[in-house]
Chains A and B, each alone.
Chain A
Amino acid sequence: MSAHKKIDWFPYMLLVPASLITLIIVAWPLAETIRLSFTDASMSPETQYVGFENYQKMFSRRFPEVIARTFYWMMLSVTFKIVVGIIGAVLLNAAVPGRTLARLLIMPPWIVPIAVGVFIWGWMYNGQFGMISGLGQRLGLLAGPFEFLAYRNSAFMSTIITDVWIGTPLVTIYLLAAMQGVPRDLYEAAWTDGASRMYRFRRITLPLIMPSIATMSLLSAIWTFNSFDIIWILTEGGPRNATTTMIIDTYKTAISRFRYGEGSARAVMIVIFLALFSGFYFLMIQKLSKRGDIK
C-alpha cells in the first residue's frame, strides 16, 4: 500500500488569478511605497537612498502633533457616530408607524456622493449665506454672521460633524440589524416581569449588541482615520493646520509639494497604524468567535 498522497492542485490554481491581482494592486504599490520612504524621491529624476532620514525629519518637525490630532479627531468622530448610531437604531427598531419610511430616509447622507454632501455643508457653515449662522442669529444665539470654518476650534468641530453626518447611517443600519437579531422572547419575559424600557435596553439590548458595537467601532475607526475628502474640501487642513490629519499631511507633502520620499514615509506610518487597528480587529473577531458571539 502506497503512502504517497496525491496533491490536488486544482483549488490552488483557482486562487492564482485573485492572488496575482492582489499582488499587483496591493502588494507591489505597498512595497514601492516602503522603498520610496527610504529615498529622497522628488521631482528630480535622480533618486538616492537616504536611510531613515525621512523618518527622522518627520518626527523632528510637527508630525507628532499631527498624529495626536488625527487620533483626537478620529476618537471624537467615532464616538459621536456610535452614540448617534445607537440612538438612531433604537428609534428605527421601535414599533412605530412610518418605521420603513424612516429607515429609508436615514440613508441619503451615505448615498449622496461625498463631495456633493460636503460642498452643501461648506455652504451651511458660511457666515454670510449659511443656514446655520442664519438660524443662530434668528434664535439670538449669535450676535452676527459666524464663519464656522474660519476659527481653529469651530473648523475642527465642523469637519467632525460633517464626518459624523456621512458616517452615521451605516452605523445605524448595522446596529439596527444587530438589534433585530436579539430574541424577542427575552423582551417578552422581561416585560412580563415588569421591566421598564430603559431597563430592558440596558440589560438585554446593550449586552447582546455589544460585539456588534465593538466591531463597528473598530471598522469605523479605520475608515475615519483615512478620511480625506471631507477635510480637504472643507478646510484643506486649515486654519493654521487645525484640521491637518495624517492623511492630509501626507497628501500635501507627497502630491502638492512633490516630496515623494517624505510623503511615502508618512504613508508608511499610516499603514502601520491601520495594520495595528486591523490586527486588533481580527483578534477581537477571533475572541468573539470562540465565545460564540459570532458564528
Chain B
Amino acid sequence: MKKYTVTLGAALMATTAGVSAANAEDMHMIMCGDDTTPGIAVQADLISEWEAANPNYDVVVEFVPWGQCQEKSMTLAAAGNPAALAYLGSRTLKQLAQNDLIVPVNLTEEEAATYAAPILGTVTWNDQQWGLPRAFSSKALWYNRGLFEEAGLDPETPPTTWEELLTAAKAITENTEAAGYGLAAASFDNTMHQFMTVIYSNGGEVINSDGEIVFNSENNVQALQFVADIVEYAEPGPVAYDRGKLETLFAEQQIGMLIDGHWLTGRVAEDVNMDVVPFPAGPMGASSSLLITDSLAIFNGSGMEDAALSLAKMLTNPANQMSFDIAEGYTPIRTGPEVDALIAGDATWSPFIDVIPAGGPEPFVTDYVAMQDILNEAIQGVVLGEVDAAEAVEYAAEELESVK
C-alpha cells in the first residue's frame, strides 16, 4: 500500500511540476550576434538564476545576426508584436521612446550613480533613462611603432595634436610602403563613428542637450577639414573602406594609424608592434572619444514589462555586468577594482577608460539612419573633393534639422 502511495505522490508531484512549467509564460528576448562568445555563457547562467526566482517566466533568447538584429526588434515593435526586451544600439532609444514603443527603465538614484555621467547620457532623453547599458566602447588612436621608426618618427612621442598627426601620417606615407592613416568613409555606421571622435576632440557637437542641431560650427568645419587634409595620407579610395576593412589593413601593416576600439588587440598578430594613445586634440578642443553603448530596452505592449525590467536590471547590476564585460572583453561600463586590475594587467586599456569623462555620446535623434546618411555624405563629399568642408557642414546642418 505504501508503495502505491509513494508512486501516486510522485506522479502527482511530476504532474504539478509539468503543469507549472506549462503555465510559465515565454519571455522573448532578442540578442544581437551569436551564442558562442564567452559572455553569453555568463548571461545564460544569470538567466537560469532569474528563472528559478521567477518560475512564471521562461526566457526564450533569440540570437539574430548583427546586420538584421536592430531592424528586427524595431519592426516587431512597430508591428505591435514586440519582444519583451532586446539588445539595441542606444542611439535608437529616442526614436523608440518617442513612438511609445519602449518604457523608461526608472533607475533609482543609487542605480544611476553607479554609471559615469557620459555613459548615462547615452541612454537618457527627456530626463529619463530608456535603456540599461549592456555593452560599451570608447575609441583611441592605434599606431604601428615599427612604421613610426621606419618613417624616422619617434614611437615614444606619438601625436597629441591634429597637426602632429598630419605630420606623422605624411612621414609614414612618404617614407614607407604603408599609408599614414586609416580613414573610414564607406556608407556605413562606423564612418560616422570615426568622425564623431574627431568632432568631439575639437569641441564640436551634432545636437546639443536642448535637442537643437548645432552641427554648423567652426569646430565641425575644422573637423571635416581635418578629414579632407588627411585623405592625401590615407589608404587609396577611403570611400571603399569601413572599419572592418581598415582593421585588416592595420593587421597587414599597410596603414600606420587607426581610430579603433580595444578589440583591435585581438585582431592583430602579436608580432605587429603597436601601441595606443588618446586621439589627438584638435585646435579648438581636447582629446576625446565617441562613447557608444548598446542597451537592453524594455518594449511596451509585451504584457510583461515589469518582469522584463527585473531581468534586465539583474543582468546589468554592477557585479553581473562586470562579469559579462570581462568575459566578453568589452570596455567595462562601470569603474571598480576589476577595472584597476584590468589596466594593471594590460596598459593598452588606459586610453579607453581614462577618456570616458571627456567623451560624448552618439547623437540622440529621432531618425538615426538618416543622420548617419547625412554625416556620411558630408564626409564622402570632402574625401572625393566634390565639396569643401564649410559647404558640406552647412548643407548637412540643414538636412539634420529634419531628423532631430
Contact = CB atoms under 8 A, between A and B. Distances in A.
Given A149-B240, A240-B381, A241-B377, A235 B71 contact: no
B77 interface: yes
Contacts of A126: 240, 245
Interface string A207-218: 000000000000
Contact of A128 (B75, B77, B249): B249
B284 interface: no
Interface in B171-218: 185-188
A257 interface: yes
Interface in A131-155: 144-152
Nearest to B300: A45
A150 B369 contact: no
Contacts, number: 85
A177 B237 CA distance: 44
A239 B249 CA distance: 21
A103 B77 CA distance: 50
Interface in A234-257: 235-241, 252, 255-257
A127 B235 CA distance: 10
Interface string B93-111: 0011001110000000000
A152 B240 CA distance: 11
A150 B99 contact: no
Contacts of A42: 78, 99
Given A43-B101, A238-B187, A257-B370, A147 B236 contact: yes
A228 interface: no
B386 interface: yes
A128 B377 contact: no
A125 B237 CA distance: 11
Given A151-B384, A238-B186, A45 B99 contact: yes
A239 B187 contact: yes
Contacts of A252: 369, 373
Contact of A151 (B96, B239, B249, B367): B239
Given A148-B240, A150-B236, A252-B369, 6 more contacts: A42-B78, A43-B96, A128-B235, A150-B237, A150-B241, A238-B239
14 contacts: A43-B77, A43-B95, A45-B80, A126-B240, A127-B236, A128-B236, A147-B236, A239-B384, A240-B377, A241-B377, A252-B373, A256-B369, A258-B74, A258-B75
